[in-house]
Amino acid sequence: MMSRHSIRIAILTLAFILLPGCAHYIVNDRSQNFDAKSGYRFDTLDRSELNSDSLFVCLMFSGGGTRAAALSYGIMEYLSDTVIRVDGQEKRLLDEVDCISSVSGGSFTAAYYGLFRERLFEDFRGRFLERDVQGALAGRLFNPVNWARLASPYFSRIDMAAELYDRDIFDSARFEQLQRNGRPFVILNATNLGVDRRFDFTQEYFDALGSRLDSYQVSRAVAASSAFPYLLTPISLKNYPLAEGYNVPWWYKSAIKPASWTTERYNAAKNLSVYLDKENRYIHLMDGGLSDNIGARSVLNAFGRGFIRTRINQGAIRQLVLIVVNARTQSEDQLSRNEKSPGFFTVAEKAATVAMDNYSYDSVTKLREALYTRCRPKRTTRLALRCFPNSVLRPPSLLRLQPISIRM
């Protein structure tokens, strides 16, 4: 007969063997019916009384770990302290922010503001910026209780990180809370490792996945956006059959035709088509910085064919402000002053960052082009712009934008 002690050991051993099979990442929910007027998309978000469409402000928060989170936090403080007057009403520039596109470290600040608003200025520093999150993650990693879970092929370090973010930073919030809060529209960017393309946590992408975003944890989206390669593992999503009644976005059908292959929207259509191909049953996401380290591409898409474009054409947007918060550090070029060729680690660092930096530069150039083709600087006022009206049948009257003074 087995003693009680032996039985306990047997049960514990059995549990240790079976537990790995139980540990599984949180799976995104399937969507049964498509509804273009619901879910987390720009058009479904309410505006606060202080937010006007006429002044449309988009922020872009770059990657760069806690440094990026801290820099974007500082910018939010400045925006909060900057008083402007729009249509005769005095308000904070922060109240006019309509969208925030973020990557990696910047996603913590963006998501926190999207969820908790003014609390950002009260407790974000203590809960995230000044906290040793890396140490807390390492603590979990070295906890033997988690070893069994980590042995599962369906549960990895990123899922543990997401649990930590969920409990300690984001209070288990889901995207429905972001939706309830209204503008700004927070776009958390990640990278789809399968096709090396950008992925953003918006209902438009989840529509193509046949999935609902509103019930998904914000913490997991932030974890995907900030899943630094090697240290962390990818976040996985399931790609379901399309929900009943699904319609592709208005620009998609003509953009995916081979005749459009020279256009930017062809690339956007190819991106979406990855998820419409249901042979791709799983999507594995990592750090958004791998595909766009400043979060500019989703804003460029919105400007090209998305919610910014439609509002410009509908005449709702009179003034467009795009603010890029780039936490990139650049030290003085010492390599070119030294005869000795750079060492292994310098070359490794350059290999990892040069392409990314050039892509970021290209993104910012595109943003500048987008603005300057519409506007020309007015010499008498530093940041005021004079724009041409977009009416051809009316007398050419000039729209003058109010000067905005931003202390930075």
Partner 1 sequence: MSKEYLVALFPRRRRVMINGEFMGTTNRKLELESGIYEVTLGFPLNFFPEKFNIDLRNTSSLMPLIVEFTEVK
Q: For residues 79 and 300, which CB has a smaller minimum distance to partner 1 in the complex?
A: 300
Q: For residues 284 and 386, which CB has a smaller minimum distance to partner 1 in the complex?
A: 386
Q: For residues 2 and 259, which CB has a smaller minimum distance to partner 1 in the complex?
A: 259
Could you give the CA distance from residue 219 to residue 396 in angstroms, rounded to a whole number? 50
Number of neighbours of residue 305 by Cβ within 10 angstroms: 19
Q: How far is the CB of 36 from partner 1 (least distance, A)?
A: 10
Angle of CA points 142, 143, 145, to nearest 5°: 140
Contact between residue 278 and residue 208 where contact means Cβ atoms under 8 Å apart: no
Q: For residues 35 and 369, which CB has a smaller minimum distance to partner 1 in the complex?
A: 369
Q: How far is the CB of 357 from partner 1 (least distance, A)?
A: 20
Contact between residue 364 and residue 297 where contact means Cβ atoms under 8 Å apart: no
Question: Quick check: helix, strand or coil at residue 93?
Answer: helix
User: How far lies 26's CA from each of 23, 29, 243, in Å?
Assistant: 10, 9, 20
Q: How far is the CB of 364 from partner 1 (least distance, A)?
A: 12
Question: Applying CB under 8 A, which residues contact partner 1?
Answer: 250-251, 253-255, 257, 259-260, 263-265, 300, 303-305, 309-310, 312-315, 366, 369-370, 373, 388, 390-393
Residue with tokens 């419409």: 276
Strands 97-103 and 185-192: parallel
Q: How far is the CB of 321 from partner 1 (least distance, A)?
A: 17
Q: How far is the CB of 363 from partner 1 (least distance, A)?
A: 11
Q: For residues 235 and 300, which CB has a smaller minimum distance to partner 1 in the complex?
A: 300
What backbone torsions phi and psi does residue 383 show, to the nearest 5 degrees?
-115, 10
Could you give the CA distance from residue 342 to residue 303 in angstroms, rounded to a whole number? 41
Q: How far is the CB of 132 from partner 1 (least distance, A)?
A: 42
Q: For residues 313 and 358, which CB has a smaller minimum distance to partner 1 in the complex?
A: 313
Q: Which amino acid is at 390?
A: N
Region of residue 24 (left: phi > 0; alpha: psi -120 to 50; beta: else): beta
Q: How far is the CB of 360 from partner 1 (least distance, A)?
A: 16
Q: For residues 91 and 305, which CB has a smaller minimum distance to partner 1 in the complex?
A: 305
For 140, residues 6+ apart whose C-beta sits below 8 A from its C-beta are: 146, 160, 163, 164
